[in-house]
Amino acid sequence: MSDKKDITLTVNGRDHNVAVDPRWTLADVIRDHCGQTGTHLGCEHGICGACTVLVDDTPVRSCLMFGVQADGKKIRTVEGLANGDEYHPLQKAFMENHALQCGYCTPGFLMLATGILEAQPDISDDDLNEVLSSNLCRCTGYANIIKAVRAARDEMKAAS
């Protein structure tokens, strides 16, 4: 196998020094070597979006990026969303609006929505639908996911 390379990933504010094979995906590094299993793999070919994380605040499909490419970058995953015991408005909205059933795609939707609401706090309903249609959910039929993200957007806007 190929030689390992030492990298540093900052995951949810904590530095992880990992010796990685260049072919390891970012998702595998986060899950298997940083111990953060909240990021899920749904297809490993960049379509379902379950593995979405924020890399330097931008939503990224962590199955399509190699761990070495994230060296020195700031990664945010679902484990870092809540502030201690206080839920992020999106987490709260997902629970209140029954926007999850099995919960497998949920971390990907939460991180996608976090990225977009931070970048565009005033995003319109239509544009939000456009963005959210890039991830797949098999349980909810999406209606409650839309409601939850809109509710979180409105709450985050009111709080800012």
Query: Which residues are at the interface with another protein (CB under 8 A)?
Result: 1, 21, 23-24, 31, 36-45, 47-48, 50, 77-79, 81-82, 87, 91, 94-96, 98, 100-107, 110, 129, 132-146
Select 104 or 155, whichever has its Cβ closest to another protein: 104
Sign of CA dihedral 121, 130, 48, 139: positive
Q: Torsions phi, psi of 21, nearest 5?
A: -70, 140
Shortest distance (Å) from residue 32 CB to another protein: 9
Q: How distant is the alpha carbon of residue 52 from its chain centre?
A: 4
Task: Provide the pairing of β-strand 5-11 with 74-76.
Answer: parallel
Shortest distance (Å) from residue 27 CB to another protein: 11
Q: How far is Cα 146 from Cα 133, in angstroms, rounded to an integer?
A: 10
Select 65 or 72, whichever has its Cβ closest to another protein: 65
Query: Which one-letter DSSP state was computed for residue 138?
Result: S
Select 10 or 129, whichever has its Cβ closest to another protein: 129
Shortest distance (Å) from residue 117 CB to another protein: 15
Q: How distant is the alpha carbon of residue 91 from its chain centre?
A: 12
Shortest distance (Å) from residue 77 CB to another protein: 6
